[in-house]
Amino acid sequence: MRLAEFIVQDMEPILAQWEAFAATLLPAAAPMDPLALRDHAHQILQAVARDISTPQTKDEQREKSHGRAHRALDAPETAAQTHAILRARRGFNINQLAAEYRALRASVLRLWIDRCSPDAPDLDDMIRFNEAIDQALAESIGYFNEQVEQARNLLLGMLGHDMRSPLQTIQMTASSLAALNAGERVSEASARLIRSGARMQNLLDDLCDFGRTRLGLGINIDPSAVDLAEVFADLVDQLRAAHPGREITLEARGDLKGIWDGPRLQQLLGNLVSNAIAHGAADTPIGVAVTETDAEVLVEVSNRGAAIDDVTLERMFEPLERGLRHGDDSHGKGGLGLGLYIASEIARAHDGAIEVRSDQTGTVFVVRLPRCK
């Protein structure tokens, strides 16, 4: 018997074995009834049978083996993709999802071979079946990862948003205590609360920005007419006060007026300077230079220190990369490792970009901001 015909005729025994195996995938499967355990297994098997029965050229087979099976752009969601979404929402993990397909592959082939006995099973059918199962598995894993990623990013976004209100209450209370002038010990405690609150605010801001970018929303900006000379001078003054032991120089040349989001560009520059402070030589200055060209403004942040290797340079602006490698980020030790990533996203939101170069003399970040007067 050909395999496609067997799958259609013996669907119920196959589904029974699928259901029995799915029930062992605990704890997610514990509260599920037989219908939920089977989910879209019937439709997946029907798609596999159709795939096996469809004529296929050698070129099509090769493309499929490379994960490039043809599918119309307006094609509906496949049963394997829907199955992955529902399994993710039920609390299955990706290993359990893959195990379902592994068990399905084994049970179908075993039942089919037994049915064919004493005749030998068709080898081409077996190859086509494995191709079809691999295709369904790839579709499921792709959608499963997207579902998990979206859920995680939504959680991060909601967490960052909901923590802002209690944090603001803490900061306002600390500021009120400091204003009471109720003694040195109270003033010192209030100052610690204010500094810690500001640190938490930076982390939450990074978390919310990261969540937006991972959800495809990008960094939110509100452009207006600003003078970058004034915007950056104000920020550099704040950074000097926050890091009294480090020299930070600012050089602004030319007409630096344009349409940008001033606070966001302060955040960008703050991330770059803080990164330079964290990773540059401690006894050398951090240089900030802002210059104009006909079409854009260039912002350079430079520091002296050991050269950054090529592998790190290539991944410099990836989220969490800097923090995982060095144990800190652009805000200082204990950060999320998002500072450089968010800086690059702020530049992108302004239709600009950030480049970095590094050698034995030091490291330079160059931000290109298109001018829009």
CATH of the domain at 19: 1.10.490
Please check whether residues 135 and 71 belong to one and the same domain. yes
Which of 144, 160, 176 marks a domain boundary? 160
Whole-angstrom Cα distance, residue 68 to residue 223?
42
Backbone angles phi, psi at 308, to 5 degrees: -90, 135
Q: What angle do CA 186, 190, 192 make, to 5 degrees?
A: 120
Identify whether residues 319 and 228 lie together within a single domain. Answer: yes
318 and 183, same domain (yes or no): no
144 and 184 together in one domain? no
Q: What pLDDT is stored for residue 323 in this prediction?
A: 42
Do 365 and 231 sit in the same domain of this protein?
yes
What's residue 56's pLDDT? Answer: 85
Residue 334 is predicted with a pLDDT of 44
Structural domain contains residue 219: no
The tally of domains found in the chain comes to 3
Identify whether residues 37 and 110 lie together within a single domain. yes
Mean pLDDT for each 10-residue chunk of the chain (373 residues)?
Answer: 93 95 93 93 93 87 72 71 90 92 95 90 91 90 82 66 67 76 73 71 72 70 93 92 90 93 93 91 93 92 91 82 45 61 91 93 94 67
Note whether 122 and 179 are same-domain residues.
Answer: no
Q: Is the dihedral of CA 202, 203, 205, 210 positive or negative?
A: positive
Are 189 and 229 part of one and the same domain? Answer: no
**Residue 104: what residue type?**
L
Co-location of 12 and 153 in the same domain: yes
Residues 112 and 168 in one domain: no
Provide the sign of the torsion angle of the four alpha carbons 295, 301, 304, 306, taken in this order: negative
Residue 294 lies in a domain: yes
- For 31, the domain range is 3-160
CATH number assigned to the domain comprising residue 299: 3.30.565.10
Give yes or no: residues 266 and 210 share one domain.
Answer: no
